[in-house]
Structure 1
């Protein structure tokens, strides 16, 4: 993440390493004062600008306009052409080495210097007397430094471009997953609304027929919960106390249909202020607990606990499992969707442990504070 935001640091370090190669070669040739002369020479920086132009022209023009448009033959031809041009022009040999190497210097005694003391070098020595034609022209020298640097800057530009394309593709995947997670949340809302709404309305109808004093509070809780699900839970995060209040309303409404054989324990300790949580991220587990942890013949217990601190949120849900195979596919989809939402909203910031053993289904979820 740091390098993607500070890509200029990579460029600066890369060019420093690039300049170190010709300087390292030249450091074996001249004296220390002449190394400084290399650095301050216009020919040295002309050499640098040539390769900088090759690098950025390849990165911003040739690769996006030719290579990424699958014009591979043309791109290869341009690479070969550039390589041949570098071979012929020999930038390092002509701009740096021949001008500053010890072999291009001659000894010239300084006026007044006693004989035998170290002479200094002189650039551009006078031409020697003409030699026979057999020795007039030495064998052409291959400028390997220029060729190697050409290949390096070309390949590095391609690698950097491919890295940028990979990051863009990864970003598109993340955005696609985010849209998918949001669509799955909307689908989950659409699923829970009618399923839960019909059962709760039937229970409230029964309360109304019998004249129960719980009728009006139940209608208020249902209305408040539906408003939370459809309106307030549209963002990625909501205050934890609002999520807990919605779970309390859901649990109280579920209790309307339970017999005395089922015991529900819901504990939400003192909640830390300003803590937020992904909306309805806990609802799937609570819904499954009431769906598979309730029996009309056997006694059962559903235990739900929520704790929060300055750093994290802890959720615990446990229920007995009775043989009930209806809606198993939807349950699996609901838990899978919840995992995807956790991966997107809490990357590397959550721990989810789901176990089914000894007739109990247990969920432990720990979320890092956002």
Structure 2
């Protein structure tokens, strides 16, 4: 903020200094009559500066933006008329030599008074219009910045809501799986609860950031897969292949877990053989996640699950990676396939 104010002050000083020196810059080394420069240039320039800054700091905000147009025009008209009169008064009383030359020129050329007044009015209108333009531009920039900030706050709120929506969804699905182990294998159920506590600790305390290392997310997915495998029979085979080395890539947390949940939820059968295949690869800054599993649709009377997994992914992708993601799902030969590609640059 301090730097911006310093630049603004320096810019204003530079502009007025340039205007102040303009008669000499345009004279190409010729001698300038100092009284003429003072009367016809520096005094009007001083009045122009007053018009500019009075409008810039007071009148535009007080009258123009509240749409008090008559007051705004009236105040500026009075001010311009006053400066026209004051300029003539100063010339008449302090620059007699310029008045004499003007009278001599008037006798030869004709009365230029009206044209002179018209030119002076236009010269005073220039700083007035410039102050309006500059103030309007700043106001627009401020409004645009506030609009973008409001959009950013809204996006963060939506992402937070989706994040909080995912946590209980994940927790309840995992509890349902552990519940099935309580009677069959109490020891495995205890192990599962311990593993689930580690996973929930990760979700609660390490995912409240915009991005995390891909390696951390992979570690989380491995633990979840190991947890789910505890309740699987020998009829289900799970294969996964993840990058073994640190890639340096960072992604938004918990983007893939819903797809893995769905694979264990809809791709496993108690009586039929099934295969779940999960693969993650990376190229430059692009991450490609693919998962395949057998498709065992739920019975129509099965009301388990909330059905928020895939919609949650799609909404988060739209917010986090607009125009930088590709998400496709298809069922082919009774095999469900999903591919998610993300550009993290």
Q: For 1:223-272, what per-residue CA distance to the aligned partner results, in whole angstroms no more than 9, with x for missing partners?
A: 21122223333344444433222211211222234344443222222242
Q: Who is 2:320 aligned against?
A: 342
What's the offset of the Cα at 1:319? 1.9
Higher mean C-alpha displacement, 233-242 vs 353-362: 233-242
Alignment CA distance shift 1:358-1:16 (3 Å): farther
Alignment CA distance shift 1:323-1:13 (3 Å): farther
Structural mapping, 1:223-302, within 5 Å: 223-272=197-246, 276-295=250-269, 299-302=273-276
- 3-state SS in 2 of match to 1:139: helix
Q: Who is 2:327 aligned against?
A: 354
Q: Who is 2:140 aligned against?
A: 162
CA distance in 2, matches of 1:42, 1:130: 22
CA distance in 1, matches of 2:48, 2:113: 28
Answer whether contact 1:54 1:153 (CA < 8 A) is retained: no
Alignment CA distance shift 1:67-1:362 (3 Å): farther
CA distance in 2, matches of 1:331, 1:296: 23
CA distance in 2, matches of 1:217, 1:289: 22
- 3-state SS in 2 of match to 1:233: coil
Q: Who is 2:341 aligned against?
A: 365
Structural mapping, 1:1-370, within 5 Å: 30=27, 32-33=29-30, 43=43, 46-47=46-47, 49-58=49-58, 62-63=60-61, 71-72=66-67, 74=68, 76-85=69-78, 87-89=80-82, 94=87, 125-126=100-101, 128=103, 138-139=113-114, 141-142=117-118, 143-203=121-181, 205-208=183-186, 217-272=191-246, 276-295=250-269, 299-307=273-281, 312=285, 314-320=287-293, 322=295, 324=297, 329-340=307-318, 342-343=320-321, 351-357=324-330, 359=332, 360-368=336-344
What's the offset of the Cα at 1:77? 2.8
Q: Who is 1:116 aligned against?
A: none
What's the offset of the Cα at 1:190? 1.8
Answer whether contact 2:277 2:291 (CA < 8 A) is retained: yes
- 3-state SS in 2 of match to 1:181: helix
Q: For 1:86-110, what per-residue CA distance to the aligned partner results, in whole angstroms no more than 9, with x for missing partners?
A: 552467x959xx9xxxxxx9xxxxx
Alignment CA distance shift 1:217-1:156 (3 Å): same
- 3-state SS in 2 of match to 1:234: coil
Give the TM-score normalised by structure 2. Answer: 0.71
CA distance in 2, matches of 1:67, 1:334: 47
CA distance in 2, matches of 1:66, 1:290: 67
Give the TM-score normalised by structure 1. Answer: 0.67
CA distance in 1, matches of 2:113, 2:42: 28
CA distance in 2, matches of 1:22, 1:330: 68
- 3-state SS in 2 of match to 1:81: helix
CA distance in 1, matches of 2:296, 2:148: 43
Alignment CA distance shift 1:165-1:321 (3 Å): farther
CA distance in 2, matches of 1:271, 1:297: 38
What's the offset of the Cα at 1:189? 0.7
Answer whether contact 2:250 2:344 (CA < 8 A) is retained: no
Answer whether contact 2:274 2:294 (CA < 8 A) is retained: no
| CA RMSD across the alignment | 4.5
Structure number with higher helix proportion: 2
- 3-state SS in 2 of match to 1:145: helix
CA distance in 1, matches of 2:287, 2:126: 58
* Structure 2: gaps (5+ residues): none
Answer whether contact 2:64 2:72 (CA < 8 A) is retained: no
What's the offset of the Cα at 1:314? 1.8
What's the offset of the Cα at 1:335? 1.9
Q: Who is 1:119 aligned against?
A: none
Answer whether contact 1:316 1:364 (CA < 8 A) is retained: yes
